[in-house]
A and B are shown apart, each in its own frame.
Chain A
Amino acid sequence: MSGNMKLTLKVWRQKDAQSAGKMVTYPAENISPDMSFLEMLDVVNEGLIHKGEEPIHFDHDCREGICGMCSLYINGRPHGPKRAITTCQLHMRSFKDGETITIEPWRAAAFPVIKDLAVDRSAFDRIQQAGGYISVNTGGVPDANSTPIPKVIADEAFNSATCIGCGACVAACKNASAMLFVSAKITQLGLLPQGQPERYRRAQSMVAQMDEEGFGSCTNTGACEAECPKEISLTNISRMNNDYLSAKLFREEEVHHTGE
């Protein structure tokens, strides 16, 4: 195993949400092309700790592309230069020896920086809490096969359900819009028969919360779709707009009350 790559990292360091941040340059040496991007940062951090310096803080957890925790704006792109992957699945073989790599946190007012490269994405949770579910209690539900769902519909719902909530769509958008994220859940549940009773109410509640959190508007640029690690399609946004407008035009009485 050759660990022979040498890189220069320009990293955003910011002590906490209140402090001002700045770019700091670090060398990264003995990097193997088989390392993931996060493993490369681990190596740099081990070096910093040995020197008694604070390691670069970044969010990460499963390291297999599914938990949605890792973020990082790498050379101006969420999750780096490759399509349809998260940062933990990005490997150093995607970079050239000697390259300078710029690493920044997600940039969006609704995602304030916590420290260095980690941001607060709890706005996403609050949007889901506002209505991203089917209201069903535990137990006493019908047999699973008593609700047949055509395979094409189930597959379509699944495609929307694959969203990992990483926030790359927001980070990629010049307006920091969260429409792709929100529309994915609205579409998943709106396509399924179980989701019909609350379909229009759900669209209104989630959109209202999204606006309250300070995300920007969608202008159909498509950067979100292009940078989404799970390739969530813009079609979701069309569906969401459709449900939202239908709700506004025809079903106001069902949806005006969002709280419990």
Chain B
Amino acid sequence: MSLDGKVPQGPLADKWSKHKFNLKLVNPANKRKYEIIVVGTGLAGASAAASLAELGYNVKAFCFQDSPRRAHSIAAQGGINAAKNYQNDGDSVFRLFYDTIKGGDYRAREGNVYRLAEVSVNIIDQCVAQGVPFAREYGGLLDNRSFGGSQVSRTFYARGQTGQQLLLGAYSALNRQIHAGKVKMYTRHEMLDVVVVDGQAKGIVTRNMITGSIDTHAGHAVLLCTGGYGNVFYLSTNAIGSNVTAAWRAHKRGAYFANPCYTQIHPTCIPVTGDHQSKLTLMSESLRNDGRVWAPKTVEIAEKLQKKQITAAQVAEEDRDYFLERKYPAFGNLVPRDVASRNAKEMADEGRGVGASGLAVYLDFADAIKRLGEDTVKAKYGNLFDMYIQITDENPYKEPMRIYPAVHYTMGGLWVDYNLQTSVPGLFALGECNFSDHGANRLGASALMQGLSDGYFVIPYTLGDYLAKIGPAKVDTNHPAFAQTKQDVIDHVNRLISLKGTKTTNEYHRELGHIMWEYCGMARTEEGLKKAKEMIQALKADFWKNAIIVGKNEEVNASLERGGRVADFIELGELMVDDALMRRESCGGHFRVESQTEDGEALRDDENFAFVAAWEFMGENQPEKLNKEELVFEAVHLSQRNYA
């Protein structure tokens, strides 16, 4: 089946304004007759809940954390892009659009990306008005820096804590509406299902994580703002709690899952040290503005470094390979994430990696410290350096940091049209939870942009159109679909609780992660993917026989929470492998070994794969059905990405 993304006709620059005018409005007096459910309160969810409540809708917001302020958006470090052109360096809405389409390896939808670039300028204004303390110049105006994948300085930042400051801004807007009584906030609640009535989303089922109470909530529309699914890899830069459960259960109720195999591997993470490790920590991409990436030129020197027979400082200049600067002179260390990641992996594969495991390259600040002085470097990156010291017990002011790629962000997610509506009417997906704006690879400083764009500036318009069309009459929780869905959830929970095997769900999760990283990570082959599929199916069968869950539902039970999430990750893992297997081309961070240029760069196949893969759930243990949305490029010409 061919899917319609519902991108408006007409010139790119007019699409959104024209569309906004064509969308139906709900008059102010009627808005209070509608109830909206928002799941997740990170950048997308908090901004959406606050904006909709400001408009006059009644909002019920849910998060699994103890406070909306803990959402994982808070951990984003580097910055947020906006085409303000404050630096007078040639930036424009079109250039931000163009960079994003190209950075995503031409696998994103033009209309959405242009809109993202267009509203980016409003986002900065909004956040400043809320009191977000962005970095400033001495003259009092906003400061900018550059980020991977772009040649202009368009990134606004708040030291290395941009995500925190933006989230606290959205959280404060949300708090204002909670105080005003327009948002009812449910913390420590986990969404476990969507209620669909006559093909439309009308509510959700949640578990109260303190009491275990399983409840239904009705609304005129449901917004999923639940983030990404990178934790399918077990080790990732995501918070431990980040999970796919809400999105996955929605998928099983009819929402298509798009491009699940598109995972971003971030090049600048602190390398793994041992099996005990529960997560990986990202070092902001902004470090590559001043840090130089290198590996030793020979395997012999690399081995000496691995065994600590010599230090990095003892490696002579001519024995260092600044491989990004060498191969990509125009972008140097600021090439996009997929390019930087793949090159680091190549170094390790050639035996030129450093650190005890050999799975790392250097990010060296010696030149920057010489050029700018230690104080300036400290002022720019001090908190990141402190964090690195804390985790590794090594001092990056004295010796280079060790970095290695790690799973960071997922570009796949629930399929949505231009209005951010999924294939289930009334069910919307915002931010990282949807698939729409980043194509096959996300550029730096664009995740925060998308979360806030969707929440502050897109959904307030597009949701109104849907609501105006369905009218204010409400389906309430007495409808039999609510009781049925609730019973399904209770059955699932009971099935988990009854598992009294011998393996912890954490052990299953770690095993899944190994399979995913090995066969569906930075480089994939047909053979490996087929093997992975079998392994995941076996893992799933074993999980439902041999897993152990302790405690009961009617209490705080982390073992149960985790069990449910791991079960969903296993199912998603299989779909990711199917998707990767189907996509016989390399694009963005998705590198199919069978599809590469003579120089070993990713080789797209536009003739056969310029589409969004939207998978449709067909029942338990049934193969999923592939629906395609053809990607049409009117404003940019498809070309081989080249950062040299």
Given A62-B239, A66-B161, A115-B556, also A139-B457 (CB < 8 A) = yes
Cβ proximity bits A121-135 to B, threshold 8 Å, 1 near / 0 not: 110110011111111
Of residues 70 to 92 in A, which have CB atoms within 8 Å of B's CB atoms?
85, 89, 91
Q: Is the CB of A138 within 8 A of B138?
A: no
Counting CB contacts under 8 A, is B54 at the interface? yes
Q: Is the CB of B276 within 8 A of A32?
A: yes
Q: In this complex, which of A60, A61, A155, A259 has the most chain B Cβ atoms within 10 angstroms of its Cβ?
A: A61
Chain A residues within an 8 Å CB radius of B122 = 139
Given A50-B502, A54-B551, A85-B390, also A138-B457 (CB < 8 A) = yes
Q: Is the CB of B281 within 8 A of A134?
A: no
Chain A residue, CB-CB nearest to B282: A64
Q: In this complex, which of B66, B159, B506 has the most chain A Cβ atoms within 10 angstroms of its Cβ?
A: B66
Q: Is the CB of B126 within 8 A of A139?
A: yes
CA distance A234 to B69 in the complex (A): 23
Q: Is the CB of A133 within 8 A of B130?
A: yes
Counting CB contacts under 8 A, is B70 at the interface? yes
Pick the interface stretch among B88-96, B174-182, B427-435, B599-607. Answer: B174-182
Question: Apart from A61-B240, A66-B161, A151-B138, what 4 extra A-B contacts exist at CB < 8 Å?
Answer: A63-B279, A66-B74, A125-B67, A141-B128
Chain B residues within an 8 Å CB radius of A66 = 74-75, 161, 164
Chain B residues within an 8 Å CB radius of A62 = 70, 72, 74-75, 239-240
Counting CB contacts under 8 A, is B142 at the interface? yes
Total number of B residues with any Cβ neighbor in A under 8 Å: 84
Q: Is the CB of B550 within 8 A of A55?
A: yes
Chain A residue, CB-CB nearest to B270: A64
The 10 A-B residue pairs with the shortest CB-CB distance in the complex, in nearest-first order: A148-B140, A133-B172, A141-B129, A1-B274, A144-B128, A154-B136, A158-B133, A115-B556, A62-B239, A260-B180
Counting CB contacts under 8 A, is A254 at the interface? no
Counting CB contacts under 8 A, is A212 at the interface? no
Counting CB contacts under 8 A, is B410 at the interface? no
Counting CB contacts under 8 A, is A172 at the interface? no
Chain B residues within an 8 Å CB radius of A155 = 133, 136
Which of these, B50, B70, B178, contacts A67 with CB under 8 Å? B70
Shortest distance from the beta carbon of B577 to any chain A beta carbon, whole Å: 27
Counting CB contacts under 8 A, is A219 at the interface? no
Counting CB contacts under 8 A, is A213 at the interface? no
Q: Is the CB of A134 within 8 A of B133?
A: no
Cβ proximity bits B149-181 to A, threshold 8 Å, 1 near / 0 not: 000000000110100110010011101101111
Counting CB contacts under 8 A, is B139 at the interface? yes
Q: What is the predominant secondary structure among interface residues of chain A facing chain B?
A: loop
Q: Is the CB of A69 within 8 A of B175?
A: no
Chain B residue, CB-CB nearest to A52: B550
Query: Using a CB–CB distance below 8 Å, which chain A residues touch chain B?
Result: 1, 3, 15-16, 32, 34-36, 38-39, 42-43, 46, 49-50, 52-55, 57, 59-69, 85, 89, 91, 93, 114-115, 118, 120-122, 124-125, 128-139, 141-145, 147-151, 154-155, 157-158, 161-162, 164-165, 188-189, 192, 194-195, 259-260
Chain A residue, CB-CB nearest to B51: A138
Chain B residue, CB-CB nearest to A259: B179
Q: Is the CB of A129 within 8 A of B179?
A: yes
Chain A residues within an 8 Å CB radius of B240 = 60-63
CA distance A15 to B276 in the complex (A): 27
Q: Is the CB of A91 within 8 A of B179?
A: no
Q: Is the CB of A189 within 8 A of B131?
A: yes
CA distance A93 to B420 in the complex (A): 48
Query: Using a CB–CB distance below 8 Å, which chain B residues touch chain A?
Result: 47, 50-51, 54, 65-70, 72, 74-75, 84, 86, 122, 124-131, 133-142, 158-159, 161, 164-165, 168, 171-173, 175-176, 178-181, 185, 187, 210, 237, 239-241, 273-279, 281-282, 387, 390-391, 393, 456-457, 460, 500, 502, 504, 506-507, 548, 550-551, 555-556, 558-559
Q: Is the CB of A128 within 8 A of B175?
A: yes
CA distance A161 to B132 in the complex (A): 9
Q: Is the CB of B274 within 8 A of A63?
A: no
CA distance A222 to B159 in the complex (A): 26
CA distance A46 to B274 in the complex (A): 16
Chain A residue, CB-CB nearest to B549: A49
Q: Is the CB of B129 within 8 A of A188?
A: no
Shortest distance from the beta carbon of A11 to any chain B beta carbon, whole Å: 15
Chain B residues within an 8 Å CB radius of A148 = 136, 139-141
Chain A residues within an 8 Å CB radius of B133 = 154-155, 157-158, 161, 188, 192
Shortest distance from the beta carbon of A231 to any chain B beta carbon, whole Å: 11
Q: Is the CB of A67 within 8 A of B239?
A: yes
Q: Is the CB of B161 within 8 A of A165?
A: no
Chain A residues within an 8 Å CB radius of B551 = 54
CA distance A189 to B172 in the complex (A): 11
Chain A residues within an 8 Å CB radius of B51 = 138
Chain A residues within an 8 Å CB radius of B391 = 89, 91
Given A52-B548, A129-B179, A139-B456, also A195-B558 (CB < 8 A) = no
Chain A residues within an 8 Å CB radius of B181 = 260
Given A89-B390, A134-B129, also A150-B140 (CB < 8 A) = yes
CA distance A159 to B130 in the complex (A): 17
Q: Is the CB of B506 within 8 A of A63?
A: no
Q: Is the CB of A68 within 8 A of B274?
A: no
Shortest distance from the beta carbon of B209 to any chain A beta carbon, whole Å: 9
CA distance A164 to B70 in the complex (A): 9
Pairs A–B under 8 Å by Cβ, sample size 23: A3-B274, A38-B278, A39-B278, A50-B502, A54-B551, A61-B241, A63-B278, A64-B75, A66-B161, A67-B70, A67-B239, A89-B387, A91-B393, A122-B67, A125-B187, A132-B175, A137-B54, A138-B457, A138-B460, A147-B128, A147-B129, A154-B133, A260-B179
Q: Is the CB of A145 within 8 A of B142?
A: yes
CA distance A54 to B72 in the complex (A): 27
CA distance A20 to B135 in the complex (A): 49
Chain B residues within an 8 Å CB radius of A64 = 75, 237, 279, 281-282, 387
Which of these, A49, A91, A138, contacts B504 with CB under 8 Å? A49
CA distance A165 to B69 in the complex (A): 8
Q: Is the CB of A130 within 8 A of B179?
A: yes
Q: Is the CB of B86 within 8 A of A145?
A: yes
Q: Is the CB of A122 within 8 A of B187?
A: yes
CA distance A96 to B153 in the complex (A): 47
